[in-house]
Structure 1
Amino acid sequence: MSSSTMPSIATAKSSNKPDQATVWILGLSFVTVIGLCAVVGILVMRCLKKSLFNRFITFFVSVGVGSLSGSAVFHLLPHAFGFAHEPHVNGSHSSLTGGPAPDFNYLWQCFAVIGGIYIFFFSDKFIKIVLETRKRSMKKSAEMKQLHSNHKHEGTENGHLVSDTLLNNDQHRVTVTQHSVNENTDISKEMKESERYIEQQTHALCVHDHDFKEGDSVIATVAWMIIFGDGLHNFIDGVTIGVGFNKSIVGGISVCVAVLCEEFPHELGDVAILVNSGMSMKQALVYNLLSAATCYVGFFIGVLVGEIDDITPYILGFAGGMFLYISLGCMMPEMKNAMEKALSVSLSQGLEMLGLQAAGVVTGLVCMFVMARFGEEIKIS
C-alpha cells in the first residue's frame, strides 16, 4: 500500500509544478511593477491633495502590514513547514480534480494566531482613545466650574464699587483686545502645529528605520546607506518572489502583493530622504530605480534555487521571518505613533486614523487568506 502511494504523491507534486513560461512572465511583470513604485507614487502625490494623500498613505501602509504578515502566516511559513494543502486523512475527494481534497484547518489556526495579535493591538488603541476622551471631558468640566466660580466672584466685587467699574471699562476693553489677539495667536499656532504634524506623520509612515537629520552634507552618507540597504532588501524580495512563483503561482502572487503594499510607501519615503540629503528629484528616482533593479537579480536566482526542493523550505521560512519582522517590528510601531500623534491633535483625527488603520489591516489579511484558501482553484493558462 505504501509503495503504491509514494509514486502517486510524487507524481502529484510534479504535476502541480507551475509552467516555467508562466512563472517568468508573471514574475518579471510583478517585479517591474514593484520597481516602479516610487515613480508611480510621485505621480499620485502630485494629483492628490495633501490631506487626501496622507489618508491614502495611511491606508496603504496598513494594507502592507496586513498583507505582509498574512503572506508570512498563510503562505510562506505553512509551505516552509510542509503542511500546506495536505490531503484529508479520510480520503475525501476534490470536486475539481478528483484527487484528495486539501485540508484547510491550518489556515483557520493561522488566522487565530494573527487575529489575536491585531485584535489586542486595536483594542489597546481603542481603549487609549476612550481614556483620552474621558480625560479631556473631565478637564473641560473642571475649567467650566472654575470659570463659573470666577464670574460669581467678579460680580460680588463689582456690586461694591461702581466707580471702579466705570474706571475699569477701558482696561476691560484692552484686556478683551489682548485676549482676542492671544486667541488668534493660539489658533495660528495650532494650525502650524497641525501642518507640521501631517508632514511628520507622512515621513514616519513612509520611512521605516532610516534616520536623517537636516543639515547633513551634500548627498549625505545616509543617502548611500539607503541606496545600498534598499538594494539588498530588493534582492531578498526578488529571491522570495522567484521561489514563491516556482512553488505555486498563487503563492508567488501573494508574495508580490505583500511586497508591493510594503514597498509603495517605503520607496516614497526613501525618495524624500534622498532629495533632502542633497540629490535632485531626477537623481533620487534614478538611484531608486537602480536599487530596485537588484530585485530582478534576486528573482532569477530565486527561480533557479526554487528547483532545489531541499533548499526551498529554508528560503520560504527566512522570507516569512523577514515579512513578520517588517510588518510587526517596523511598521506596526509606526502605526501606533501615527495614531497617537493624530489623537494629540484631536479626538476625531485619532478615531479616523484608527479606522483607516483597521480597515487597511483587515483588507490585507482577508486578501491573503482568500488567496491561500481559494487560490489553488484558480487556473491560469
Structure 2
Amino acid sequence: MNVTFTPNPIASLAIPNSPNIRNAHSVLSLYSHNDSQFETYVFEVQGEHHSHEHVEQYCGNVILYAFLAVSVTNLCSLTGISCIPLKKWRHFNYLLNFMVGLAVSALFTTALLVLIPEALRLEETPLEFGGQGQRFLIVLCCVPAGLLVFFVLEYFILVLQSISKVRKSSEVPDCDLELMNTTIDMSLFDSTVEVLPKKSRCGKCSLSKFIEVAPVAWMILLGDSVHNFMDGVAIATGFVKSSSIGLTLALCVLLEELPHELGDFAVLISTGLSIKCVLVINFLSACAAYLGMVVGLLIGEATSGGFYVFAAMAGVFLYISLADMLPSLRETLERVEKKNRCSFGLFVIQFAGLLVGCACVSGALVGGHLIEF
C-alpha cells in the first residue's frame, strides 16, 4: 500500500532523549463524540541519524557547559569576603534585603515555571495533540502574582497593627503617670565595682576557643555541602535536558547563593575564626557541587531519571524560598516596626527584589529558548 505523506509543520511533536531515532511510521486513531466515527491518520516520523562523533561532541558540550555553570556559582563562596567592608556601609541592610527578596522569587519562580513543568512533561505535547503547549506558563504565572499581592497585603496589615499599638500606648492612665514621676533613691544601690584581672591568652585558651567554634563550623560545612551537592545535580540534569533549562537553573542558584554565602560568612566570622579559615570552609563546601554535577550527568542520561530530579529539586526550592527565606523578610519588617520606625523604604526594597527575581528567571527562560546551543 502506497501512502503519500503531506507535511504539516503545525502539528509537530518533539521526542526528547532520542538522538538516534530512525525513520518510522505510526498510526493514530481519533474518535469523534459528535458523529461517533473514527478517523485514522498515518504519521511518518523522521529523524537525523547522528554519528558516533556527533554524540561524543554533544556529550562533551553538555559536560563543559555544566562545569562552567557550576564553577561560576561556586565563585559565590568567595564573595563572602566582601561583606567585611560592605558591613560598614550604612545601606548594607537594604542591599541584603534586596538580595534575599531576589533569591526568594528566583527559587519560587524556577520551581513553578521550570522544574514542575519539566517533571510533568507539560510542554512536550502540543495543543494539536491535546496537550498544554505553552498555555500552562500563563496559568502558572498567576501563582507568583498571588504571592506578591499577599506580600503587599500582609505588610499593610502589619503597618495598621503597629499604628494601633502606638495609639494605645499614647493613652497612658493617671496612675501610670504618677509612677513615672516618682524618684528613685540611688543611694540604696552599692556603686562599688569589682575589677577582675584580665586573663592572659595562652595556647589552652585558643584551643578551647577552637573546640567551641568547631561544631558551628562543621554544621555549616555539612549543610552547605549537601545544599551545593543538590545544586550541582540540578544544574547538570538541566543541561542534559536542554541548554535553556540549564541556564535558568544556574541563574537561579547564582541568585540564591549570593545572600546565602554572605550570611554564612558573617556567622563564621562572628564565631572568631580567621578570614582564611572561613574561605577554606566555604571552598570545601562548594567543591561538593562538582560531585553533584557528576551524579546529575549520570542521572540525566537516563530516560526518566531527570524527571524525578526536577520534582525533588522543586520541593527543595519551594521549601528554601517559602519556609526559610520569605519569613526572614517579614521578621525584618516587624523588627523595624517595633522600634516605631518607618519601614516603607525597606518594604519597597524587598518588593523590588521579588520583582527583579521573577523577571530574571522569566527572561532566562524565554531567552534560553532563543539561544539554544
Deviations 1:221-264 (A, max 9, x none): 12212111211111111001100111111111111111112111
**Distance in 1 between residues matched to 2:120 and 2:361, nearest whole Å:** 18
**Who is 2:109 aligned against?**
70
**Who is 1:354 aligned against?**
347
Does the C-alpha gap of structure 1 residues 271 and 47 become closer, same or farther in structure 2, counting only changes over 3 Å?
Answer: closer
1:7 aligns with 2:45: yes
Please show how residues 1-381 of structure 1 align to structure 2 within 5 Å: 2-3=26-27, 5=43, 7-8=45-46, 19-43=58-82, 45-46=84-85, 49-84=88-123, 86-89=125-128, 103-136=133-166, 142=171, 217-348=211-342, 350-380=343-373
Q: TM-score, normalised by structure 1?
A: 0.70
Local SS of the residue matching 2:79: helix
CA deviation after TM superposition for structure 1 residue 374, in Å: 4.7
- Of structures 1 and 2, the one with the larger relative CO (CA 8 A, separation 6+) is 1
Q: Which runs of 5+ in 1 are unaligned?
A: 92-99, 151-174, 179-214
CA deviation after TM superposition for structure 1 residue 276, in Å: 3.2
CA deviation after TM superposition for structure 1 residue 28, in Å: 1.8
**Who is 1:158 aligned against?**
none
CA deviation after TM superposition for structure 1 residue 373, in Å: 3.9
For 2:358, the aligned partner's letter is L
**Distance in 2 between residues matched to 1:235 and 1:317, nearest whole Å:** 16
Contact 2:81 2:275 in 1 (8 A): no
Contact 1:218 1:278 in 2 (8 A): no
For 1:352, the aligned partner's letter is G
Contact 1:104 1:373 in 2 (8 A): no
**Distance in 1 between residues matched to 2:311 and 2:294, nearest whole Å:** 19
For 1:375, the aligned partner's letter is G
**Distance in 1 between residues matched to 2:139 and 2:108, nearest whole Å:** 14
Local SS of the residue matching 1:309: coil
Alignment: residue pair count: 299
**Who is 2:206 aligned against?**
none
For 1:77, the aligned partner's letter is I
For 1:67, the aligned partner's letter is A
**Distance in 1 between residues matched to 2:265 and 2:235, nearest whole Å:** 24
Contact 1:343 1:351 in 2 (8 A): no
Percent identical residues: 32
Contact 2:76 2:257 in 1 (8 A): yes
Local SS of the residue matching 1:103: coil
**Distance in 1 between residues matched to 2:43 and 2:329, nearest whole Å:** 50
Does the C-alpha gap of structure 1 residues 277 and 79 become closer, same or farther in structure 2, counting only changes over 3 Å?
Answer: same
Contact 1:217 1:277 in 2 (8 A): no
Deviations 1:46-91 (A, max 9, x none): 2574322221111011000000011110001100001125423189
CA deviation after TM superposition for structure 1 residue 297, in Å: 1.0
For 1:372, the aligned partner's letter is L
Does the C-alpha gap of structure 1 residues 70 and 10 become closer, same or farther in structure 2, counting only changes over 3 Å?
Answer: farther
**Distance in 1 between residues matched to 2:47 and 2:327, nearest whole Å:** 44
**Distance in 2 between residues matched to 1:334 and 1:275, nearest whole Å:** 21
Local SS of the residue matching 1:219: helix
**Distance in 1 between residues matched to 2:123 and 2:65, nearest whole Å:** 23
Does the C-alpha gap of structure 1 residues 135 and 316 become closer, same or farther in structure 2, counting only changes over 3 Å?
Answer: same
Task: Please provide the CA RMSD for this pair.
Answer: 3.2
Q: Which runs of 5+ in 2 are unaligned?
A: 1-24, 28-41, 184-208
**Distance in 1 between residues matched to 2:329 and 2:299, nearest whole Å:** 36
Does the C-alpha gap of structure 1 residues 277 and 134 become closer, same or farther in structure 2, counting only changes over 3 Å?
Answer: closer
Deviations 1:335-361 (A, max 9, x none): 11111112223442x111211111111
For 1:54, the aligned partner's letter is N
**Distance in 1 between residues matched to 2:44 and 2:264, nearest whole Å:** 51
